[in-house]
Structure 1
Amino acid sequence: MTRIKTIRGLLLIAAIVFSTALVAATHYAVSNLFERSVRDNAMRDANTFAEMTFQSMFQLMRTGWSRQQLEEFIRAIRRSVDNTQHQIQIYRGPRVAELFGEISQPAFDDPIRKVIASGDSLQLNNGPEVRFIHALRAEDQCRVCHTNAQPGEVLGVIDVRQDITPLLAASNRQFLLAFAPIIPVAVIATLLMVAYIRRRLDRAIGGFATNIRSVSKLADLRQIEKARLDFGFSEFSPVAGEVKQLLERVRGVAVDKEMLEFEIRLLEKFILTSDVVKDWREYVNRLLLDIDDVMPAYALFSIFKIGDDIFDLEVFWRYTPSAKSQQLFETTVKESLGRNPYFAGGYAVSIEHNIADSSRSLPELVREDIEVQTKSLLVEAPKIGGIVGIGMQAQPGADSTRWLVVESILSTLLNVVGSVKAIDKYTKDLEYYATRDPLTNLYNQRVFWELLDSETIRSGRHGYKFGLLVVDADNFKSVNDTYGHGFGDMFLQEVAAAIRSAIREDDLLARYGGDEFVVILPETDLAGTTEVAQRIIDSVTTMSIETPDGARVTGSLSVGMAVYPEHAIETKDLFLFADTMMYRAKAEGKGRLAIPTPQDVVEVFRSLSEKSILILAAVEARGVIPYFQPIVNPKTGEVEALEVLSRIRLEDGSILVADAFVAIAEKMGLMHKLDYILMERALEIVSQSDYKGLLFLNMSPRALVLNDFVQETRRIAASFDFDPGRIVFEITERETIKNMALLERFINTLRAEGFRLAIDDFGSGFSSFHYVKRFPIDFLKIEGDFIVGMKHNEKDRALVRSIVALGRDLGIRTVAEYVEDTEVLAKVVEQGIDLAQGYHIRRPTPSIEEALDITLG
């Protein structure tokens, strides 16, 4: 097919095609519209005719007509539509025929049967015929004669039909006669439009050609740039714009060298030094002066996020601006921020103005200067605190090519100034959070020990007493598990605030970890310490927080106390004493203060000393004893795994269980060493037996921060030629969830070495589900309280069913803990839990042979 090469030919063909299509579309649309009108009128006539027929019938029926009168009425109705396009038929329904007998009528077709069945009238408006079927439904007064009918039942139908073919044919003929004169008028109008468009194009293209022929030197390009290129139609405006941009790029080649030299000179100054970080505002002022030497510039500004919805706007002026110019500039910048989605939620702005050269005043700015000549670069950069922006305003007449270079410089300046601000903020944050707990903003554990050491030395030198309180939030785990970690964090913040309000300004409050706080009370004796402790308990007891479900949660504290030097003179001893007293308060019923007596001092330190000595001796003599508890398949009784539990044998032959020494060992920093010894002793025993199943080992939270934990466990497994895939480390929420990134790296490293992982007490807290989502977990050890509760509580059974379904869907095996009797074991089997352990199956035993000798009853 030959391609059309002229606009004239293209317009002519397009006009003809357009005219033809317009006429055809108009004819089609109008004729369809008319046909719909004819059909609608015919349907309304049929509807009216059927209603009138019914009303006539109804009037006769009320007089109690005979069968002969009925038949005569039907014949009269039919005669009334003879020699017309209408047809009418009255049908007697089954209910009437049942009572009064059949009449002569055509057989029911599908539409008639549908109306009789549904009781709704029906309109059929397709094809050459319009049909309306009117349902005759029984009313209360109809039942006088039609005793077998109920109100609403169909007694019969009136079927009205009309052939609309003649009407449609007549309308088409009339439309064609009326439309014929319009066709030549449309064609002539189209041709005139084509001629007009062609004349406008010829004039615009001729003018553009004249401008191009006038270019004889580089300076002439600026004249064409300033000229208004008009092709007569807005659709061709992009062509004119592209031509101007091309000319601008061509003209820019001649100044590339000059601008590159300028750019290099500035970029050489973009080097971060300690002086730049220290006084970055002076640094930006100097850069503004350098830019102004090449391109007249009168202001730079930068926007940094310095807090939650708080931004810092720094404006750098070339010369001193008026107050009106400052206000106008601030308003314009805020309006620009308001149009950015990042700021849509609202923000606060702190504004500071800086002047590079105060010896002169800046000419008064008008709004058009700022709106037209502002170049903003808004970049989201989380590493430097959120949104960072920098912009420039220049005087009119600046070379556009120079603007391109300056904009690239501004982009670099954006990163430089942003980095300076970020370094400053990051340094301050490091200094702050090195000493503070990020949740409560209280001192952290490390600073607490420094303060405690300092207070011990100061009080010892001056002969002062001071009090130490160890405070534990009662039932915090229950609050955390019930309402989630978000509410739990808010609860701890409220507890911290309540404690802070109950102590003196110079008393030292720190968060020791989890739900535990510590308070140092300088220059306070036993009576004063007791008074402050009780005030703290009262303050938290009156606290009430609304939960997400609208309930109220109140606070309760268990507090232990110690006084220097009455109860100890060494800082660690003083802390352990107060910590022990806190546990005594919890054991006595919580929500109280344990006030030490002279006898307590003897008992506490004897107990702590004995346990500390035992732990040290166990580490020294490698005296940790592994106990084994079987984990079985509840259906078959087969032992598939053994959980290894830590015990220490005392000199009198008695056994110290883990609960009695784990807390002290963790505070002594020795728990991980006990774990290593336990693992070695367990692998030694297993290697000497025929057992080929899995070993479950509990993991101390301290393992997360030990660089050598993975290497050490790998070494131990390798020394016994033990497959790491047979070792399952159990992790709990405890302290791990507070640093998910650290936990994720740690777990992925363990998995890379081949070890398996289990979540202990699964379902006891929200973070357990985070573990399943983020980590490669092999086993879920279901919270024991749920397992025991299955005997009597449907909610516990529902929770267990959900956990089992979750594990099955994710390919994770489930383990039931606390299987204490036959009834619980039956529920475990019923719920489809994969594995089970508990005293009903076997108590922990040092004999691996006994652990493997299982018979489920």
Structure 2
Amino acid sequence: MLKLKKLSVFILLIAGLVSVLVTATLIVTMNTYINDVKSITIQQSKALAQQTFSDMFQIMKTDWTKEQLENFLKSLETVHKNSNTKVYLYRGKLVDELFGKINQKKPSPYVDKVFKTGTFYSYKTDSSIRYFYPLKAQNVCLRCHINAKVGDTLGVIEVKSNIYNVVHKIEVDIFKSLFFSLVVIVAGASFVSFVIMKVIHSNVNKFKKEIENIVSVDDLTKINFSNIDFFFSEINEIRDSISTLVEKLAKITVDKEILEFEIKLLEQFIITSEAIANWQEFLESLLKDIAKLMDFVFFYTIFRTGEDKFESFIFWRCKCEGYKKEVEEDILKSLKTSGIYVPGAKVDFQHILLENSIETIDYEKIAKLSKNLILEKPLVGGSVGIGISFQASENEVKKMAVEALLATILNIIGSIKAINKYTKELEYYATRDPLTNLYNQRVFWELLEYEVERARRHNYKFSLLVIDFDNFKLINDTYGHAVGDNFLRRVARIIESDFRNEDIIARYGGDEFVIIMPYTDAEQAFSASKRLLDDINKFSMEVNDGKYAKATISIGVAVYPDHAKTAKELFVLADNLLYKMKEEGKNGIKLPSDEDLRVVAEEFGKISFLLMETIDKKKVIPYFQPIVDIKTMKPYAYEVLMRIEDNGEILSAYKFIEIAETLGLVYKLDYILIEKAIDTIIKHQLPDNIKIFFNLSPKSLIIGDFIDKVKSILTQYSFPPNRIVFEITERDTIKNIEIIKKFVQALRLEGFSFAIDDFGAGFASYAYIKHFPIDFVKIDGEIVRTMTSNKIDEAFIKSTVTLTKALNMKTIAEFVENEETLQALISAGIDFVQGYYVGKPSENLL
């Protein structure tokens, strides 16, 4: 009886009765016989065709007549009249052309095919074999067939063999054997199936019921197969193996709930602007999601903030005041064990309450269940550690899932914290001069234009002071740039102390400063300027060995609206007055006279007339400056710069662009520039992979038909939009940011790319990254120029590189004027460079 329970014995018994191999063998045998018959018939047909041709050829050599041919064909019919094989001869067109047509069987498509291809062909059906043999012209044939050449098909012999009787006999014999075999197989299989199913069926139902009861991972632990006996020992072994597998799955399988939880967490790992703005809120949101699925007590992160300083944020799900000190000690112990902690280092602990959903805890138990990850070296953002403490009852699989995510969470939080830090630095240094900590030039312009608008609305006066040192170069040349920088820093503090809190003070560049004084007329501005002039005259800075550095200043003063109505006009006037003061002897203050105002008006009118003439005659001149790939030092792109001509002198854009914007002409200049630049590029056959940068005024972008006009120009020259990069200038843009944003997005959909120009020179820069789909960031030239001598500028550039790489943008450094700067930019990881050292602007494409 024990042997009968062995499934292998039962299979041997069934294999003797139920063998499908019998059927398969008989069918294979039948097909083999039939195929052999067909193959033999084809060979015989080929031999017969060759023999027929041979016989025919012997007669043809005797220059047979048409009568002989017809006799030969009749003999073929006579010879094969009572056989299963028929032979047909078909003459080709070449033969008919020479000897005329004869009565012959109408050629089938297969015959036509052989005539066309000149190759042997056989066609098989279940009941017949048709073999087609081409009669090709040989050298000896050309004697009679003068219109043919060697290889031409002159005729076709068809041998048709009827194999129906042979095939039918094979099939009848085989199917008789098959029928008998199937009767035995079906009867035996039915009996065996009845016996097996009766034994197994009831146990299969029990097995299925156990499986159907599984609805969660926890149900795997409740399955019991011990009361199921399949009778066959081999099947029972499978049952036991399945039981073992279920036990293992219960330990390692991740619940659907956990998978959905992990996917949700991973979706939140995308670094968004909201996450960058507040990494702590981002982490709290993650932890609240984790808490929905598992009962953890606390979670902590550790960051290194200095060589001997750390900070740790501990997020609690209970007040647990009595255990905070113990957790801090455990974290400190983990830090010391990792090797990253230095003796005497300070750890600043911050405790954050997520929710108060856990009433009591057994700290000794949860301490044993805590999991952490402490690194030997900090990651980006200073991340060095992370940890979580579970409740004792928590599912092991859930613990494993969260543990697996700890390293990822640590990396993400570190990256977000780093980008948050870099972003804050960018926002600060985008508005400040790094040397003096005063406002920079770009912010000055935005605030000056804002002040003009505010003064116009509220009908008040304000003054603008432009200040420049008279002999500052002498300080740099005598004592070095380090002393000169320190001197400027000291002077900046003097200026701050001499003016009101509401006055706006900026370093315009080099040793030039500007001051906006709201609600101030000419007399008040002169008084404040005199106070500053006196204080600078009194100031001297000790250098070394009893030597002192000293300098004087000249000041130009202009008042809105008495002397000018726009920001540009006001600055140009004050700047001109400054240089008049220098011409008159320096160390003084200059306010405008009537003559000064008349000269400014004349200059404005001259430029206005020149601009209108330039537009009318399309005399805009495009200049091209290469933007070089820092890895290959070959041009990646060209920036197109606008120039106009005035009596043989080429004027740069800074001399006329502000007036063009005031007159509302700048968009017309941009159209002409784009068209002329593309025409030049086409004529010079610039490679298709070279991009073209255009520095557009925001006032051009908001023109209603700007997009259509640009598309029309590109269509005219068949120039693809994806080669065009528009540089966005910050002048006026921040006021119209929503309007500009709409136009930028519309142009982006057309395939154009965008770059921020002078990034870091104004506080609008970060707004562009946040609001616009930017592809390139062009770092302000003043920052690039001083990066090798100013650590703040160098840090700004490196921070920008880190930020842009995280946002998948490319960086371009402007004003690269020497090898030292180029090497520093290579080390910083800049993508492209532009400046006189790598390529000067030129009317001709290099």
Alignment TM-score, normalising by the size of structure 1: 0.41
Larger RCO (CA within 8 A; separation ≥ 6): 2
Instruction: Normalising by structure 2, report the TM-score.
Output: 0.41
